[in-house]
A and B are shown apart, each in its own frame.
Chain A
Amino acid sequence: MFSKGIVLAFLLLLTVPFSAFSQDLTVSGSVMDQQGGPLPGVSILIEGTSTGVITDIDGNYSLNAPGTSVLVFNFLGFESQKVSVDNRSTINVVLRESFMSLDEVVVVGYGSMRRTDVTGSMVSVSSDAIEKSVPTSIDQVLQGRAAGVQVQQNSGAPGSSSSIRIRGVNSINATNEPIFVIDGVVIDGNSGSSSNNPLASINPSDILTMDVLKDASATAIYGSRGANGVILITTKRGEKGMARVTYDGYMGYQEIPTRLDLMDLRQYAEHKNERAEANIVNDDSFFIDPSILGKGTDWQDALYQRAFMQSHNLSVSGGSEKSTYALGLGYLDQEGIAIGSGFERITLRGNFDSQVKDWLKAGVNFSLSNTNQVLSIGSDNANNDTMIKTAMKQTPNVSVRNAEGTFDGPDDNMYVQTNPVGLASIRENDRERLGIRSGIFLEATLLKGLTLKTELSSDFNMNNEYRFTPSYRFGALSNDVIQSERVKTYSKYWSWNNVLNYTRTLNEVHSVNAMLGQEMQESQWEYLYGYRSGFLNNAAHDLNAGDGTTSQANGNSGQHAMMSYFGRIFYSYDDRYMLTTTLRHDGSSNFSEDNRWGWFPSAAVAWRISNESFLRDNLIVSNLRLRAGWGKVGNQNVPSYAYTSVMSSVTTVWGTGQLAGNTANPALQWETTQSSNLGLDVSLFQNRVEFIADVYHKKTDNLLLRLPLPAYMGSQGQGATTPPWANVGSLENKGIELTLNTVNVDRGGFQWRSNLVFSLNRNKVVELDTETSTLDVTVQEGSEVTPVTRTVVGKPIGQFYGYKVIGRFNKGTDFYYKDANGQVKEVARPEGIGIAESGVWIGDYIFEDVNGDGVINDSDRTFIGNPEPKFTFGIGNSFAYKGFDLSVQLGGSFGNDVINYQRRWLENPRENHNLLVSARDYARLGVVDANGPENDYRNLEVVGGADDMYRLSASSSNANNRMSNRYVEDGSYLRIQNISLGYNLPRRWVEQIGMENAKIYANLQNVYTWTKYSGYDPEVGAHQQNALLSGVDNARYPSPRIYTLGLNLTF
């Protein structure tokens, strides 16, 4: 196709000399796209003048122009075209869709820039990506589409959160989430919980673009909050022209993609009989003959359902020369694939921009969202009692419902599971959220090129949580105490910023943009809690129906304020050499007066080699640019008042008591990240091939951490003094990001485009100023508290930590080995445990004696896995032909480990609850000599079962299921994230019913996953959004597979 371009350019060159002698004539014609559809709103300008027109709804135009002039056709998303009039009166033009627009404007924080001027590292995701998937929350859109941005859903439950890591894990305190700036309002992506997603209140279909600022030279303009990256979200605004009404909606259903292979009734009965033989349980008279039993209850079937989903969005936008507007209404209803979960959202939004005076622009935007999340499947509150885990463990001999149709349960009440379907169905756990975000701005042009913009934004949020535990009787399990809890939280944020902006081009080569701004922000939040029990029945759930003497109430509040000054200077020489410098000065109420203020500078340069004379007219290289940047940003995410001493209230029998609440650290200050970035942007063949590469190095110092003081400092458990927050060390991330966008075929109306993103990050702890430079994070299961990850200097953070299984005692001689001197020694056994059937025995695991002291104890734990992937990638392909378009998005991760934590119980053959079928492959023992003793280990050997399973034993002295590398699995996967197929109905059909465009589409989400991981889903995310608990799968809610069918209409 570029041969045509050459011809055109050649023609243009020829025509220029003759343009001097000409007369005006009326030129008319039509502008079409490549499919032959009319293009309304195309601007046509006579070159070198400001005279021009715009095409009407049918794509027609007419204007007076000199016969020798050149017309320039411009339309957003299309390549501009120049056509010389040549004294013709009819000129019809076909505009070609542009592949990548270099003149695209992107938002960079307190301003915008041409993409080609951006010197920092950033990536944009447009509404196209949103349309081609079924995101219910904006964080999901970024998955696999932006290099350097790793998105993992922490839970598959509707409305739940994701872990977003921009260029790796930056901080060891809980928050590694970037900040989101939605039309100027900062929203923290951190909620500290898997089920609660602050971004879920934003309707993805309201989004125009998401611009992700990755390196510090780009985020430094956000200063003390830019360390984890910044995601700028621009919502759709109106455009000049006729009002446009759009409806977009889909309906579909979701299902669980995979199942665990759990025992059915017959298998369970056989296994229980074997356990009874091994003296673990008493004989069960119901299981005398397992062969007559059926399948029993499949609790996965009972808990998971085919869930309905629908979304409807209606928007109106338009505008006149001076004013534009956009209005939108959205509705989403997503049932969960597990009973007792779901998400519903209503959003309303509108914006209005107007040129009120020739020197003054004003605008307002407003958005309201109301969401309701059903969480009765489980909760992050109190005991994290997710019914997902219960359904895995509930035994197949328990029925879901009894003959009368009410929920059933186990026959006795010791060491049994509850009815997860019953409990998820009858208890109430809803979270309703109402959010109102709004902003107004005034922008005055003071001088040519000098503007002053003042913007006031606010964000109000109200949260209502409803929790009700009814009385019930599930078989032998009963609850008589009816309880109700109500939680109200209210938060208020406002910010006001004033930005002076100056743009000037001197002598056509010196282009300057200078920005100077000031901002103040304040947020406040309140929490109110109420409780009553003693309800007489389950009918009324509100507190006033309960017993007043059981009332409990609680409440607290907090606030945060920030004051900032910032500036940016951008200078470009001849569109070849560019320099951006920024500086921000932030003051935060989170720190004491002496440490309150910090400076955050950055600088970046770019060299646009393709604009040098030697490449300027190169037909192959259309853009070649080198970028280099450095910057320093902060993280101030600590609770308020960490720097001062506070008391904490304790209810006592003698009234309110006071204990010291914390250990203050007045010296507390920002965590700072310095990052350097080198980038290369290449576009070839008129942008048919675009390649972006970035290499970065980040170093975070003064890591914020709540000091892991030893417990003897009075720092752990109830009544403890919370340890001080301190700045304790440094962390390093380095990596490579590659993006390749190509147009592979563009011929005969058929187009095939690909995009590929590749991210590689290596994380390392450089320094930890805790005394022993070690940080352990534990997972509690029942009363067992197990360290699962350890963070030490010299390794990536959050390494899996435990024992190493190096074999199994298969025969008597395995208990001994010969050392280097030929002396026979005992293979290390757990401390104090002898060779005995109730101790260590044939069929038990051999653990590695890491320190070589001859016994297995806590000091023999070691690093057994790394949750950090070697690399992650995304591959997208899209095809368009006539009215059809098809896109396939793949994503994956390679080389990361996942702990399949539930396998510790589900594969332990001695456990009482239901198990994985694989647990039945436990090591079977047999005698070596049939005439020999049966209880002498020297006459026993393993004769059956899986090679990697341990024996079934009455005693758990060897603790075969202790946290070990047996439960660490390869978490690599390749997933077809999404397939979407759309068809645009032919324009001549839709025009007849007065429509501009009509499209039907089908979407498949989470289509298929190739992985070796044996749990539900290798994409695990971070538990409680805690970066030190990444990749720990402890009955995570599985992500659904989604099938939808949708319709998009434009009037």
Chain B
Amino acid sequence: MKRNNYIKALGLSLVLAIGISGCNDDFLDSTPNDQITLENYFQNNAELQAATAPLYSKVWFDFNDKFYYALGDGRGNNLFAPYSDYIYPFTNFTETSLTGPMVSAWAAFYNVVGQSNNTINNIRNFAVNVTEDQKNLAIAEARFMRGVAYWYLASLWGDVILIEDNAAMVNNPIVPTNPRNDVFEFAIRDLEFAAKHLPETTGQSGRLTSWSAYGMLSRVYLSYAGLHGNSDPNSGTRSAEYLELAKKAALKVAEESGLELNEDYAALFTLEGNNDPEHLFTLNWVGGSTEYGITNTQQAYFAWNSEITGDDAAWGYYTYASWDVIRTYEAADQERLHATFATNGAFYPELRKEDGGYTYEETDRCNVKKGVVGSSKDTDGVVQRMNSGATTKMLRLAEVYLNLAEAILGNSASTSDAVALEYFNKVRTRAGMPTKSEISYSDLHYERRVELAMEGQYWYDLVRRAYYKQQEVINYLNNQERAVQYEFENGQYVAGDANTAQQVATATESMLLLPYPEGELVQNPLLRQDPVPYVFNEERINLFE
């Protein structure tokens, strides 16, 4: 062995060792190629817009998937599904803190809140090369979403936790709830900010405008009118202040937006009607995609057979109109019925186009039509498995008109106010219904239920009423003939036996709210304790000076 050989080797290894040590941290530093890091984002206005875009879809997915209709229509008994465990617990008042869609919806609302917060705070902290107006616009979009999510949370669970900065809470997530009224006020502040900073028109169809915010405010003010300053849920009266605000917000949209109802009710629920000007707020799903999370899966749960969807995702055979809603439709209300529920003999040219259309022939039920748009072949590929590509209707001009009428009706038994009648009758006329010259609460109740059926609204109408007429609502819920089957005989639907597959529980006061999800209670025992008032650190904006 030559001595200089190993000296060479030793020398080489020493050089290597030193060389390697020198670049330790460079070697260990790595940056992702498949994700953008926060430090590299929010560099221009386009990036701000891209940061608000997902707030119109993915964060709402788990809400839209089942809860939107299962609770919104199921619990109000527009919908009956005795074998679908994602619907009947709501219809039968037998949901528990583990009921799947409820747990998912809770998480989804808080995803909306969390991602809106992230967007708001990241824009405030990191955005560069953008104007203050651009910042405010993007923040207004996020605050609108957060406000709507909190309206849902307050309506469904009452006292919930208000969060403005998720990142700051990670190290101490166990906090008490805030009272329902504070949650309403929080939502109202968000929506008022949105109304002030959102534009009147946008370049991208489907994006929020200030009319969206005013429209949503009319709903939220109206709801809160039953709570504000009202300690007795059976007082029968609502806050005049908030009724007035609801009226002003609705009037603003009705008179200043220049928007009109679409002449054709059914057209609103076609793919062409996805972002019709009447829609003030929609969730925008990506047609043609099967990527979970960005699709509208509702059609798969409504379609009553594979012929409709053209694939195996058609699970709606036993998801159909309740007897209570079928008997509610007035005989003349065919246009809205046809667009909402399929009845025996109803013909739909847009389904099964290759066969020249589709005639509904079932006799023991009326399946859900609103939300069903056809197969991939019927829609040039927009529909995919578990994706209808249809927008989810969150707020329509028609509802704002009805909010206006209800705000004007206020605490009276009926009204003949010209403005109220004008807009109330616009909704009826469009549906081919005769006009009215006087409006009572029951007129409004009918109109709202039928106009917005299968748009996830009905339960919230009942909740809103229960804020000041609780016993009336509970009695109503117990007299709805839930779980009754029906049959098409001699040209009309007649009631049959009760379906005994599931027990229907008696509605009580406690069923006006949902239980907190089990996982949350386990992790945060403070949810069982009294709420703690929220400290607002922001002045309210006065929109109507």
Contact = CB atoms under 8 A, between A and B. Distances in A.
Contacts of A719: 54, 58-61, 108, 111-112, 115, 293
Interface string B33-57: 1111111010000010111111011
Given A498-B17, A957-B503, A413 B522 contact: no
Contact of A716 (B86, B94, B107, B292): B107
B32 A552 contact: no
B525 A772 contact: yes
A711 B318 CA distance: 31
Interface in A190-236: none
B267 to A, nearest CB: 19
B30 A772 contact: no
Nearest to A778: B519
B34 A558 contact: yes
Interface stretch (A43-51, A442-450, A1021-1029): A442-450
Interface string A645-685: 11111111111111111010000000000000000000000
A714 interface: yes
Contact of B294 (A444, A651, A770, A774): A651
Interface string B289-315: 111111000000000011000111010
B58 A563 contact: no
Contacts of A554: 291
A838 B497 CA distance: 15
Interface in A568-607: 587-589, 593, 596
B527 to A, nearest CB: 9
Interface in A758-807: 770-772, 774, 776, 782-787
Given A650-B58, A657-B50, A772-B522, A833 B505 contact: yes
Contacts of A641: 32, 35, 37
Given A652-B286, A714-B114, A718-B292, A786 B311 contact: no
A652 B6 contact: no
B25 A654 contact: no
A650 B294 contact: yes
Contacts of B85: 782-784
B28 interface: yes
Given A558-B32, A784-B85, A710 B173 contact: yes
A304 B447 CA distance: 59
Given A454-B13, A718-B59, A858-B97, A480 B286 contact: no
Given A534-B381, A838-B500, A651 B289 contact: yes
A782 B301 CA distance: 13
B106 A713 contact: no
Nearest to B35: A646
A647 B37 contact: yes
B61 A280 contact: no
Of A554, A556, A654, A715, most B-chain CB atoms within 10 Å: A654
B535 interface: no
B518 A787 contact: yes
B62 interface: yes
Contacts, number: 322
A57 interface: no
Of A481, A554, A648, A720, most B-chain CB atoms within 10 Å: A481
Nearest to A360: B5
A785 B312 contact: no
Contacts of A649: 35-36
Contacts of B439: none
Nearest to A652: B53
Contacts of B502: 838, 955-957
Contact of B28 (A561, A644, A770, A787): A561
A663 to B, nearest CB: 5
Interface string B382-394: 0011000000000
Contacts of B50: 654-658
Interface string A235-264: 000000000000000000000000000000
A770 B61 contact: no
A836 interface: yes
A548 to B, nearest CB: 10
B16 A650 contact: no
B6 A713 contact: no
Contacts of B97: 858
A452 B13 contact: yes
Of A518, A709, A832, most B-chain CB atoms within 10 Å: A832
A563 B107 contact: no
A971 to B, nearest CB: 26
Contacts of A653: 53, 56-57, 206, 284-287
A717 interface: yes
B6 A447 contact: yes
B170 A647 contact: no
Interface string B364-382: 0000000000011000010
Interface string B338-381: 00000000000000000000000000000000000001100001
A556 B85 CA distance: 37
A782 B99 CA distance: 12
A413 B305 contact: yes
Contact of A721 (B86, B118, B285, B292): B118
Interface string A707-745: 111111111111111011000000000000000000000
Interface string A425-457: 000000000000000000011110000101000
A307 interface: no
A323 B376 CA distance: 67
Interface stretch (B161-169, B208-216, B473-481): B161-169
Given A647-B38, A713-B169, A718-B293, A832 B94 contact: yes
A415 interface: yes
A516 to B, nearest CB: 10
Given A550-B381, A711-B110, A955-B502, A588 B28 contact: yes
B523 A771 contact: yes
A279 B483 CA distance: 14
Given A563-B24, A720-B107, A713 B29 contact: no
B113 interface: yes
B25 A593 contact: yes
A550 B294 contact: no
Interface in B152-193: 160-161, 163, 166-167, 169-170, 173-174
A547 B381 contact: yes
Contact of A520 (B20, B83, B111): B20
Nearest to A516: B17
A661 B207 CA distance: 23
Of A554, A709, A833, most B-chain CB atoms within 10 Å: A709
B111 A720 contact: yes
A163 B513 CA distance: 44
Contact of B98 (A534, A707, A858): A858
A396 to B, nearest CB: 22
A414 B317 contact: yes
Contacts of A1045: none
A827 B411 CA distance: 47
Contacts of B318: 414-415
Contacts of B106: 711-712
Contacts of B54: 650, 652, 657-659, 719
B101 A531 contact: no
A986 interface: no
A479 B312 contact: yes
A555 B33 CA distance: 10
A455 to B, nearest CB: 13
Given A445-B1, A646-B36, A563 B27 contact: yes
A500 B517 CA distance: 59
B166 A563 contact: no
13 contacts: A549-B381, A647-B38, A650-B58, A652-B54, A652-B57, A658-B36, A660-B115, A713-B163, A772-B525, A787-B98, A832-B94, A955-B502, A955-B503
Which are the 4 A-B pairs with shortest beta-carbon distances? A714-B114, A657-B53, A719-B59, A556-B34
Given A279-B500, A446-B9, A772-B523, 7 more contacts: A534-B381, A648-B35, A658-B50, A710-B173, A718-B61, A838-B500, A955-B500
